Structure 1
Amino acid sequence: MTSSSDEGAKTLDDVRVRYLVTRAALRAAKAMTAPGLSPQRRLETLMECHGTMNAARGPDSPRLQFGEFRKALKGDLAALLPEGVTPLDLDGMMVVDRDGQITEDAFDLDLEQRMLLHTLRKLDTFAGTVNDRELQSEIDQETAFTLLRKQGEQRVYEAGRTDLIRCPAGPVDDLCELRLPPLVADFYREIPYDSLYQGWWYPCPICKWPMRIVVRKNAGTAVGVARCWHTPHADMGASYLFRLPTDASAPDLLPEPSPPRPSGREAILSPDLGDVPQAVPAKGHKALSRGIWRYTTIPGLPELDLHDRLAERGLRVSLWPGLDAYDLLVEISAKRGKKTRLKVDVKDYTSAPTLAKLIHAQEGDRGGADWLVVPDYRAGQVHLLSGVCEKYDMRVATASAFGEMVCEKAGVSWT
């Protein structure tokens, strides 16, 4: 009979193997695609990642040859896992896309798995099982929040976190004016090379972070593509084409066809793309590190949007109460003076199974939230997450469904 301790250790080992395989593949893919890397350095990195991959697969798995490893990086990531490890989100995951670039989902999955392992390590679940050196340093997101909380003032924390959401990139002079402690401001770095075209970058019209730039062949002609690194934003219309200029001038973007704006309750939180983004010089500009942008700015947008829309309708809503015990506190005044308080945590994970495992590891929400809210474009995750959250007396909804429900309880119209 297998004990719950053995089952837990097996689960944790599987999580760690999936993380190490993903991490090794991602580092190797970066080495293969990064411009300007010397052949010697490229080979050294690939060989190191090959060794990590075989170590992660374990002594009972057939050794993966170096040539097979390089070839596998352009295929299904799940094929690199050893037998007996459930692939989950790795099944069908591509690390390198048709343009020879690292896929957005691979970046997200790597960060999400790292956060799950980081949480398990902090909880000291099955101590000693997780000892990968990369997990010894704090995740950027948590470090930034800790530095903001050290100020000890709710107002200062709200201002700083709002700035990280509203201003993920911009002129250095403007960024210096943000309400951030110096160590948090250090998370603004040079514009990533894969978001540049001849010294120019373009902010996503939704999140304002530098969009991804690639040049691909289309019917024998080279065409530039600019799209948000966050796939849902690109799918909403933050995706553009441009002709390659013959001089040093900045290219003009042309919008690709985008889906119609949602109607009904989802229209309230649907972002307005506005005008086509204009080129911005890289010189004198910086952007948040990818981890801070992906897991502070991206989920922060629906947090702020939901807060603002509910406040506009007369509801009392607080942001990150208790220095971020959870994301939103919504207070509803019903008839006979009775008040309902809803504690909300907003999550935007590419991997629903990874988020589910994180919730299970923490036995619900660490701050005591009783609602888990996901952006509307993650509606497909609600069923899976509801099954896990139900065990911890949490309910799950999309942002629009939650907003509509709250307004109905308060006797006001969401739409």
Structure 2
Amino acid sequence: MSAVAGTAVVVQELDGDQRAALDACVVAALVLSSSEGEAQGRMRLLMECHGRYVRSFGVLEQAPSYEVFAHRLRGSRVAELLPGRPKESVLGKVWLLDDEGMPSSALHRLAVEASEHGHQAPGIGADIRHLHSLLRAVGMLPVNSGLSRISGETVQHAIFRALRSAGFEAYTRGREAMVRTPVLTRRALSRSTALVELSAYIGISPTRQFGGLWAACPMCRWTMRATFRPNGVVDVECEDERHSRLGAQYRAEPTAAEGWDLVPCGELRAVPEMLPVEGYVALPYALWLWVTLPGLLEVELRDRLVALGAEVRLWPFGDAYDLHVTRSGRSRAWRVDVKTWADPYGLAEKLREDPEGPGELCFVVPEHLRGYLPLLRRVVRGSEARVLTDGDLVAEVKRA
């Protein structure tokens, strides 16, 4: 499991002062790493962040001056920025800005998972405000509730409940569309009544475009982040840490003909097409994070099993689990719950909360998390549940 993936749980373990300090650091880092907004407004927000940061230190610990605060945001690990400096925390492995002031893969995630003021910040604020409007529209947030921390479970429940109201077929089509096509043309979106009514797609964020263009990650097909360097070159890479490591990172260089060349910087040599911002809409960050990314393995696994001749239903019985798999002429069935990142504690909590236990569920994790199998299997010991990798499941269905 990546350090970024575990931040939500760790943030809940911080005390109130540490959470307030983290909030101030996240918003300030977003302001420093973005050129959006007027200089005066940006400075006012930075000073407000520093004021909240100072108050979080109380009277027993000396808070740094604004100059030191702004300097430490660059290159410091998150745990080092907080009062009390929490030890042995995943926050000691992630940073907000690099030494050049460029944003990390953790920054936007912390903005939606840990910040009560992220809606103010350039780059992600519009996405957060849109998400809150969407949650209010489907009845998940009271009208007078403040903009506060968001959980992935809340977002998934709200989106899936809204899609289910259109009927199971529309639900399945809409959810699969949000997985397969996190970016759509406005014309394609207009053909999906359920997605139009949901209002999940919005214009492409300025932080994901360069020269009126955008490029999709070859793995998840969402808009890659565009980070402008002082020399005029733009770093273009996927927000997902694993996709970026696997090669979804590029360099956009301006050409003499007022165009752009996209040059691969990782192992992937295929270059995605640069498309005009005009005419396209995309899921906001949180929906990509909590709907698209988890759904990628579910949909891919369905396709692989169908290719073997299996009959597969996605998200059956009101989304009781992810895949219901059968083989023609065989009595055996597989009830599959896909876990895209290995959280043994979250899985244990799920089992404790279910009075009937997991039954004969197969918990499936990606092949690259095979090392977590012994730990996860200890969690489900004593039940009828099993834990497999996606490769194990495909092989088992093939043999049946």
Distance 2:235 2:11 in 1: 40
**Is the contact made by 1:319 and 1:329 (CA closer than 8 Å) also made in structure 2?**
yes
Match of 1:307 in 2: 302
- Structure 1 gap segments, 5+ residues each: 1-9, 115-130, 260-272, 411-415
Distance 2:11 2:203 in 1: 38
Match of 1:190 in 2: 203
Distance 1:187 1:253 in 2: 29
**Is the contact made by 2:365 and 2:390 (CA closer than 8 Å) also made in structure 1?**
yes
RMSD (Å), alpha carbons: 3.6
Distance 2:236 2:12 in 1: 38
* 1:100-139 equivalence runs, <5 A: 100-108=101-109, 111=112, 134-135=148-149, 139=154
Q: Kindly provide the amino acid, as one letter, of the partner of residue 211 in structure 1.
A: M
TM-score (norm 1): 0.73
Distance 2:367 2:255 in 1: 38
Distance 1:394 1:50 in 2: 49
Q: Kindly provide the amino acid, as one letter, of the partner of residue 300 in structure 1.
A: G
* 1:174-189 equivalence runs, <5 A: 174-184=188-198, 186-189=199-202
Q: Does residue 1:31 correspond to 2:46, yes or no?
A: no
**Identity score, percent:** 27
Q: Kindly provide the amino acid, as one letter, of the partner of residue 329 in structure 1.
A: H
Q: Does residue 1:398 correspond to 2:389, yes or no?
A: yes
Q: 1:58 to 1:332 in 2, by over 3 A?
A: farther
CA drift at 1:144: 1.6
Match of 2:237 in 1: 227
Higher relative CO (Cα under 8 Å, sequence separation at least 6) belongs to 1
Q: Does residue 1:243 correspond to 2:253, yes or no?
A: yes
**Is the contact made by 2:337 and 2:364 (CA closer than 8 Å) also made in structure 1?**
yes
**Is the contact made by 1:317 and 1:329 (CA closer than 8 Å) also made in structure 2?**
yes
Q: 1:330 to 1:88 in 2, by over 3 A?
A: farther
**Is the contact made by 2:183 and 2:283 (CA closer than 8 Å) also made in structure 1?**
yes
**Is the contact made by 1:317 and 1:331 (CA closer than 8 Å) also made in structure 2?**
yes
TM-score (norm 2): 0.75
Q: 1:56 to 1:309 in 2, by over 3 A?
A: farther
Distance 2:114 2:374 in 1: 21
Q: 1:162 to 1:193 in 2, by over 3 A?
A: same
**Is the contact made by 1:371 and 1:396 (CA closer than 8 Å) also made in structure 2?**
yes
**Is the contact made by 1:93 and 1:106 (CA closer than 8 Å) also made in structure 2?**
no
Match of 1:270 in 2: none
Q: 1:77 to 1:146 in 2, by over 3 A?
A: same
CA drift at 1:79: 0.8
C-alpha distance after superposition, 1:95-151 (max 9, x if no partner):
11355322113333555668xxxxxxxxxxxxxxxx985048995443222211223
**Is the contact made by 1:364 and 1:394 (CA closer than 8 Å) also made in structure 2?**
no
Match of 2:66 in 1: 66
* 1:6-405 equivalence runs, <5 A: 13-14=13-14, 20-53=20-53, 61-74=61-74, 75-83=76-84, 85-108=86-109, 111=112, 134-135=148-149, 139-151=154-166, 153-184=167-198, 186-216=199-229, 222-249=232-259, 251-258=260-267, 275-331=270-326, 338-348=331-341, 355-363=343-351, 368=358, 370-379=361-370, 381-382=372-373, 385-388=376-379, 390=381, 394-405=385-396
Distance 1:79 1:388 in 2: 33
Q: Kindly provide the amino acid, as one letter, of the partner of residue 80 in structure 2.
A: A
